């Protein structure tokens, strides 16, 4: 099986226009269908209306049609039905209830970020000039959707579905699957599943160029929504990416991130760069290498009771 891309997601919220306006103001671009994207990837986030916030679809890519057939057989063995039409497989996530679409293809390549000349101790590369960031009129926009984080009390079943059903690769685990970082691209993770009070989306993440881009984008959000801050700026241990978490107007947490670990050789990562099953409940050394400690609301988000009630009313586990 060869999944190779997280293409886009669909978010369901109470007020789609409010969320769309928020992201149009903060650097995303609307395509002809009304979906939001970036300069390189025109469709990254679609937004639909519902009575509670949740992930309603995840769109992935794979290398060829034989991958679709293998995924379909694996799902059948799990008791999950799927349909292949042309070069696209669709199924319903048995835990979270959102639609999964997998199509033959590959993510659109990204243009390289601007080269920044940085001064360091004993290595003055930028002489007689100010840092480039000082000349930026507005924050640099997000470059792409990078990952999604999901919480659920059924984390073992959910992890099994994504790893053994769909074919995500495990990058790191905490306490033998208590929480799992997994990937379909070279990023350390495109999906993270952790325990939660009810099945829900914890956050979605947008990659930006660098730490200056994180800082300026985050400050622009706070200028309009001073209570949007959750935690940041910092650098994670697992994944090693720099981060800033904030909330959007729909109550979803989102992350601006940069500089994530890249895994291009699976065997080398397993052999030399990772203890894949971390024994400590917080990973190798907690939430971050540096930066503020995550608040209680990072995992126990304030609307989880509302989400649980809405899911129960629809017969979702």
Domain spanning 3-109+143-312: CATH superfamily: 2,3-Dihydroxybiphenyl 1,2-Dioxygenase, domain 1 (3.10.180.10)
Determine the pLDDT at residue 282.
59
Query: How confident is the model over 58-74, as pLDDT tens digits?
Result: 999 999 999 999 999 99
Angstrom distance (rounded) from CA 207 to CA 257: 5
What does R_g of the chain's alpha carbons equal in angstroms? Answer: 20
Q: Which pair of tokens denotes residue 209?
A: 């160029």
Q: What is the 3-state composition of the chain as percent helix, strand, coil, each rounded to the nearest 5?
A: 25, 35, 45
Query: How confident is the model over 170-227, as pLDDT tens digits?
Result: 999 988 889 999 999 999 999 999 999 999 999 999 999 999 999 999 999 999 999 9
Query: How confident is the model over 271-303, as pLDDT tens digits?
Result: 776 655 666 655 566 899 999 999 999 999 999
Alpha carbon distances (Å) from 165 to 1, 73, 96, 142, 150: 10, 9, 15, 31, 17
Q: Is 112 exposed, middle or buried (0-12, 13-18, 19+ CB in 10 A)?
A: exposed
Query: Is pLDDT above 90 for 270?
Result: no
Domain residue ranges in the chain:
3-109+143-312
The pTM assigned to this predicted structure is 0.96
Please name the residue that has the structure tokens 């730490």. Answer: 211
């Amino acid at each position: 099986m060869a999944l190779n891309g997280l293409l886009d997601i669909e978010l369901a919220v109470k007020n789609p226009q409010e969320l769309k306006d928020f992201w149009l103001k903060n650097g995303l671009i609307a395509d002809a269908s009304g979906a939001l994207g970036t300069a390189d990837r025109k469709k990254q986030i679609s937004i639909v209306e519902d009575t509670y916030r949740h992930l309603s679809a995840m769109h992935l890519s794979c290398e060829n049609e034989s991958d679709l057939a293998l995924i379909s057989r694996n799902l059948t063995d799990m008791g999950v039905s799927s349909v292949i039409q042309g070069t696209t497989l669709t199924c319903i996530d048995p835990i979270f209830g959102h639609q999964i679409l997998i199509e033959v293809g590959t993510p659109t390549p990204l243009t390289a970020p601007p080269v920044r000349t940085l001064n360091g101790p004993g290595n003055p590369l930028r002489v007689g000039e100010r840092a480039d960031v000082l000349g930026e009129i507005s924050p640099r926009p997000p470059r792409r959707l990078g990952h999604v984080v999901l919480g659920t009390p059924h984390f073992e079943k959910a992890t099994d579905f994504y790893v053994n059903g769909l074919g995500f690769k495990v990058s790191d685990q905490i306490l033998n699957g208590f929480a799992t970082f997994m990937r379909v691209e070279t990023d350390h993770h495109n999906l993270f599943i952790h325990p939660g009070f009810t099945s829900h989306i914890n956050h979605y993440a947008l990659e930006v160029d660098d730490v200056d881009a994180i800082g300026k984008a985050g400050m622009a959000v706070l200028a309009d929504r001073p209570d949007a801050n959750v935690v940041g700026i910092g650098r994670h241990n697992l994944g090693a990416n720099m981060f800033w978490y904030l909330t959007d107007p729909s109550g979803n947490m989102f992350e601006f991130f940069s500089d994530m670990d890249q895994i291009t050789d699976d065997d080398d990562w397993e052999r030399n760069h990772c203890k894949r099953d971390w024994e400590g409940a917080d990973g190798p050394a907690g939430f971050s290498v540096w930066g503020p400690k995550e608040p209680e609301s990072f995992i126990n988000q304030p609307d989880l009771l509302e989400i649980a009630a809405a899911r129960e009313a629809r017969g979702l586990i």
